[in-house]
Structure 1
Amino acid sequence: MDALAEAAIAGASPTALEDEDVPTLYTAAHLRAEDVGMFDGTDDEDVRRSLRIGNVPMPSLAPDEVLVAVMASSINYNTVWSATFKPLPTFNFLKRYGRQNADAKRHDQPYHVVGSDAAGVVVRTGAGVRRWSIGDHVVVSCIQVDDHEPATHADSMLGAEQRAWGYETNFGGLAHYAVVKASQLLAKPGHLTWEESASTMLTAATSYRMLISDKGARIKLGDVVLIWGATGGLGAFAVQLVRQAGGIPIGVVSTEAKERALRALGCDVVINREEAGLTGDSRPEQTIEQGKRLGRLIRKEVGEDPHVAFDYVGKATFGISVFVVRRGGTVVTCGSSTGYQHQYDNRYLWMNSKRILGSHAANLNEQAECSRLFDLGKLSPVLSTVYPLAEAGEAARLVQRNQHMGKVGVLCLAPKEGMGITDQTLRDKIGEAQINPFRVA
């Protein structure tokens, strides 16, 4: 490990951090352009084969960027997409981005450092950075934006140049160091560890925009919300947000173990999709039958149909979501982990004045509002297991096969779990069981 990394781990002063040299190489989980096509003709696109752990060159900093010594990161489904080169190889994104200007050209490399979450220490700042300093403890937002673009100042998620960091850009968070724009940074919650902090922002803020923000479904007191994949990273935060907003979460899961975990999280109604006969068959006639069964179960439990369906699963569930929400109800979607080509019966949409709402990640203000909920103890991390960076491929494989609950963390520079807490008083006040519901369930 290099001297700068050792100093960051030890909590060295800003002056001591500045005195250490930035290494010319750093360790990262990355993809290689030469591997594109390696899964052609195979049935199992095993991400352990494509995710490499090794040294890559350290990039220079643009004026509006910072270099973060990454203590921990986590696995998001976009890392699985990246590592399977589906639906497109991410090198296409990097090449397109690289045509913009000299700073963007740095991203167009024959390697791609992936990862869209990180928590760590600022160790260098670009000449144009004002709000952040060397030594700051930060979490990294997953979205890079162009603040010269007018749309960014209304809602950065509408900007044509917004990109998912570590997916549509290079130098992501599954590494010892990460290069990020200063406008991606938020202060790390002091009561959380590095790995807990690094497992929150992408999924929690995405769920926040989908459900709470004025750009999303804007749920209110008493709303019934159907949540598919309710023990996944997105779903587990959705359950918490619905409860905090005074709504009634209805979580759908696939196993008895996930049922138990979801009840420990405080979900009002838990439905096992296997027992309910929700097979994932997306043919129109099967969708209607499954929707009727699910609707009966929900009405039996809460007496009415859902106001909102929270759907990131996609092909296997989307038609059911459109069918099952009430008149005037909303289906809000941010992804399609089972497939992008959705089928639904449009009669149940138009004749019942329902709406479909697309949502992507979150703007920085929404992320800050979401982060505040962690500081207040209103939201808790949903970390279930942690791997070292050397085993990032195994961690991603767990998510690829849907064998995880909540979030899967990755220790990058942090040598062990439990480090990074600066507000033990708040942690004690909230309580360990509340902070880590999936690890103590």
Structure 2
Amino acid sequence: MEKLVLVHLSDIHFTGSSGTSIHDLDSDVRHELLRDAAALTKELGGATGVLVTGDIAFSGQCAEYERAASWLLEFCRAIGCPDESVWVVPGNHDVDRKIANSKVTKTLHESIRAKQGPALDKELREILSDESSAKALLAPLADYNTFAARFQCSISAAKPYWERDLTLPCGTIIRLRGLCSTLVSNQHDAKNNIVLGQAQVNVHRVDGVEYLMLCHHPPDWLQDQDTVVSHLESKVRMQLFGHKHSQRVQEINKTLRVTAGAMHPERDEGGWEPMYNVIEISRLDDQQLGVRLFQRRWHKVNHYFLADQNRNTNQSHHDYVWQGCPRPARKEPPTVEAQKAADSAMSAAVAAKTKAKDTEAMLPPTHERRLTFRFLTLAFRHQIAIANILNVLTDEDRALSDEALFRELFKRAAANGLLAKLWDETEKRHSDPAPFNPFETLK
């Protein structure tokens, strides 16, 4: 695509009964959102993916995530993007409060919230570096992690954030970074006691890379907001937040901060008004990128989504410009002799790989992401059946989480030349198997 087109949803708040009852009053909102997003993204030339800034579930329960996953699959297919092209971060509603209120986890929360400045980051680091305390801190997000793993967006003690690169045709990389603002979240959440930690926002400037950050809680909810904001406003081009159920867009220090409205606001809220955004990013010239923001708002009388008009231009969108984003240097095409030599070397490398069955080579990220999504959306019994067919797991692997189990399965399948078989066994258990196997070339 000549540009990136990203649908931004927040606070989608799925319950276990969402979409399963005639009393689900929000079903019409979701139906109209599908229609509106499909029409808009088609007009823009297609969708790259979906960004969800937290509160996927309502109370952090497995059944709620399954309903959300089912709807997100339907949504991706409506807007024409790959099923796995969804990126998520957790919100406070994605926390299992019962677990968060356990004695051990609550004590950890209190010890972190009692600290300020460098002492807070030190406390976080020490807790996440200790296996037992890290396990207790992350336990309330266990069901969220199982859901997020299929999109390669789960969090861990070793890395409480994730990254993913999307590349514009000019070569510029838009690096998504998903932050977890719910490491310390329970029934006592309040403004200024949500903790993020500097490690999550300690991004490194890289030529040709522009950061787009996702986080549920906006800065004014953070206990460590001064440190966090300093990093975000100096190094991150675009920040997406949720939580407030109220749309606000700010340009700060050449960066763009979008606090989203909720897709599923609670109906007893004052000013109930479902909203979502579409973000288009493209190159304008050799030094600038353009961002076009489409804000969509529910019309309470006519019951459909419509544009939140730009009052200055009467357009259905708002335009922003990112200065100082030089176009990556074009590589000079090789000479005929150099190209022949390169082709010969490539042929030899492919032949050697085929002969030696060098199965340690990693596949392109899109295929790995697809395989992850397809495997982790299978029923557990099918996952175990595939693992048994490949015969690469051991009894000791029983203790691994779903995502860790898949990582081990994938790594060992690669080491034993079984990636193509893993793909085939996964795809044939879906009703819409892929028409080709990208791992066949590794045989």
* TM-score relative to the length of structure 1: 0.23
Larger helix percent? 2
Bigger-Rg structure (1/2): 2
TM-score (ref. length: structure 2)? 0.23
